[in-house]
Structure 1
Amino acid sequence: MKQLYYVIRTLLRGRGSNIIKVISLGLGLTMSILLFSRVAFEQSYDTCYKNYDDLYQIYSIFSAEGEQFEPQKQNCGPVAGAILENFPKEVESATSIAYFVSSPLYNGSVRIDARKILADSLFFKTMGIEVLSGNPEKDLMQNDVIFLSDDLAQKIYGGENPIGKVISYNKELQLTVKGTYVDLPENATMRPEAVISMPTAWSRGWGNYSWRGGDSYYEYIRFRPGADKEIVNARLDAMIQKYRPEEDKKAYGYTAFVKPIRDVYRDEDQVKRMDSIMSILALAILFIASLNYVLISISSLTYRAKAVGVHKCSGASGGTVFSMFLLETGIIIALALVLMGLILLNFQEFIEDTTAAKLSVLFAPDRIWVPLVVVLVLFIVGGILPGRLFARIPVSQVFRRYTEGKK
């Protein structure tokens, strides 16, 4: 208790420099934590799906006239189903989805703008998305069926049960709501608010669902737990050639491979480049803020040396002095965190626009380790380095005369 009393007295005595410390650390912590949290958010993409390590996305590679094009996420429609059929020991389920349903939904005369996709009956099983009501493996095999996310269902129908309700697509098609599912978080590359059955498109001739072009489908497969995933990539080209028409083989080349969905977003060049920039900037800011604190602390050595000597004359050990300085650093960091909280609260809208993510998402429980690690690093650097220096001050310092110099 006496240590806390002496620490508070020391802080009050040097309140001018301590205010500078709090402001410096508060700004440094705010920026570095926001940047590190954004990087962690980017790296957490597509981890919201159940057993996401078994979920893979299909990529297609086309070639023509001896030139091979870059891998693309759009595939010929039947690829996923063919993989499921040809690799039953390795693949548990597969799905194809399409995005060419951009027109709005209508509940009566009320327009509803929502993200929509077309999907087959194995969509929810393959992706590992929790279904709250309905039987998608049966219902999505029918024409004019739609599943709604829980939030969208609440938005349209309030507390009413949406099952059996009819909703219009572009005031042209009448879609029956057959089920609801859990909303996907912001760190998912695919976040549909409504899923329309694929037969709805097939029955009207929308799109080209065949091996002859029509590369408009995003496709995914789910491996069985413990399956050898390399087998599929090794044999996939031979499987595709088995299905392709001979005349198409002469015109252009086509093959495919599968990639873990966990790596799809974070392996994009733009994402890797931005994550590198933000990480370097966050480290630099944290390093500057930490050394700022250390240097301000060391600059007070001349007038605090005698106080340390007095403590040691009174029986305090080097460990006691060290713990007092750590306690002082902890209080300063706590005040800096309060300042950080005020900054986030007062500039929330600006920060969310700048980071392109809500603060509630950046500081979600599964990413709370990011600010904790940043604070811990700051505490270690800012507390231990000058703390050891002050703890080593000898008792004889009380009896020495010295003058303060800029060096």
Structure 2
Amino acid sequence: MKQIYYVIQTLIHGRGSNIIKVVSLGLGLTMSILLFSRVVYEQSFDTCFKDHDKLYQLWDIWTVNGEPFPPSEFIIGAAAGGILDAMPEIVESAASTGSWPVSAPIYNGSVRFDDFKVTADSLFFQTMGIEVLSGDPVRELQQKDVIFLSKDLADKMFGGENPIGKIISFNKEIELTVKGTYAALPENCTMRPKAVISLPSIWSRRIGNYSWEGGDSWKEYIRLKQDIDLDELNKRIDVVVQQHIPRSDKFGITVIAKPVRDTYRGYDEVKRMRNIMLILGLSILFITALNYVLISISSLSRRAKSIGVHKCSGAGTGTVFGMFMWETGIIILLSLFLMVFLMLNFRDFVEDTTAAKLESLFAVGRIWVPLGVTAFLFFIGGVLPGRLFSKIPVTQVFRRYTEGKKGWKRPLLFIQFAGVAFI
């Protein structure tokens, strides 16, 4: 308890430099934790689906005169079903989805809803691993003019009433019957529809090309029964596809499967932004830690005599080291309060910039990110100056020091850190 008392007295005595430390650490922690949390959040995309490691998305690669195009996640409509039929010992289920045929709004009476929707076949929920709350999608989605609503959209449309059997309209042209509901999906999903309209609703009106002969505008998925080498799986898929597509000397197509987790984090812009955020986060974290160390060390000549007094009073090296660790812990704790204050008061700006809700960034499964950043800062900021100060000899109390005019260094370090953090 005496250590804590002396630490508090020291903090009060040096409140000027401590305010700079708290503000600097608060800004640094805010920026670095947000950047690292966003990177980890992006790596968690599409893990919301049940047994996501067995869920694969299909991609096609078109070749023209022997020159391949980049892989596209929009493929020909019949591929998923054809693969399921040809490989039942490996593929458990398959689903085809399309958002473009149902991009128009839906209406409950005169109230318009522009939520994202897809049209999908009867195995959509089984394939994706989405929890169905009510209804039988395997049977109902084989019928035309049927719609399933997510729980949150159903509540928004009907205010908590049972939506089953309700009639809504698509673009005020097609009447749809609500046949079921399903659990709302989190933000970190690449396939996150608020409503699913049966694919026969589109087929019956001759919308789109759903065949082996083109119409590459569908997103398709397969769920595997067992683990299989990805190269072997893609070889077998290619054999199936080549048996069905029309022969052409000019055009060719190859269909491949990729783990659904690799869809979002495989986008070029996502990989580029991930690298940028990692570099910025590491830079800010190191600058923050080193600035704290430098500010602490800059007070060496001023605090050396007080440390000598502590040692004359019986404090050992470990006691002095512990005092500096306590001091660092208290300052970091105050900095965390500042970080929370900034995030809550600038919540809209933070969520708009990171393109994610704070609840998603700091979900229980990702709470290790801020804890890890804080622990790293505590270790660097506490251990380095703590070891340096604890080695000051007792004879220091008998020496006379004259400190030069070095006060400009602290505001300079603060300005340097604040500029880097906000950039």
Provide the TM-score with structure 1 as the length reference. 0.97
Name the counterpart of 2:154.
153
Q: Secondary structure at the match of 2:32?
A: helix
After alignment, is 92-101 or 229-238 more displaced?
229-238
Does residue 371 (structure 1) correspond to residue 370 (structure 2)? The answer is yes
TM-fit CA distance, 1:224: 1.5
TM-fit CA distance, 1:400: 2.0
5 Å-filtered alignment, 1:264-343, equals 264-343=263-342
Name the counterpart of 1:138.
139
Name the counterpart of 2:253.
254
TM-fit CA distance, 1:251: 4.3
Distance 1:300 1:109 in 2: 70
User: Could you list the runs of 5+ residues in structure 1 that have no partner in the other structure?
Assistant: none
C-alpha contact (below 8 Å) 2:65/2:249 kept by paired residues? no
Distance 2:106 2:250 in 1: 40
TM-fit CA distance, 1:42: 1.4
5 Å-filtered alignment, 1:3-402, equals 3-99=3-99, 100-246=101-247, 249-402=248-401
Q: Percent identity?
A: 64
After alignment, is 74-83 or 4-13 more displaced?
74-83
TM-fit CA distance, 1:401: 2.3
Distance 1:140 1:291 in 2: 60
User: Could you list the runs of 5+ residues in structure 2 that have no partner in the other structure?
Assistant: 407-423
The count of residues paired between Structure 1 and Structure 2 equals 405
Distance 2:347 2:296 in 1: 32
Q: Deviations over 1:248-302 (max 9, x none)?
A: x334111111001111111111111111111111111111111111001001111
Counterpart residue identity of residue 330, structure 2: I
Counterpart residue identity of residue 41, structure 1: Y
Distance 2:3 2:15 in 1: 18
C-alpha contact (below 8 Å) 2:22/2:332 kept by paired residues? yes
Distance 1:391 1:234 in 2: 65
Distance 1:28 1:145 in 2: 52
Counterpart residue identity of residue 128, structure 2: M
RMSD: 1.3
C-alpha contact (below 8 Å) 1:58/1:259 kept by paired residues? yes
C-alpha contact (below 8 Å) 1:90/1:229 kept by paired residues? no
TM-fit CA distance, 1:229: 4.0
C-alpha contact (below 8 Å) 1:90/1:228 kept by paired residues? no
TM-fit CA distance, 1:352: 1.7
Q: Secondary structure at the match of 2:403?
A: coil
Distance 1:298 1:254 in 2: 65
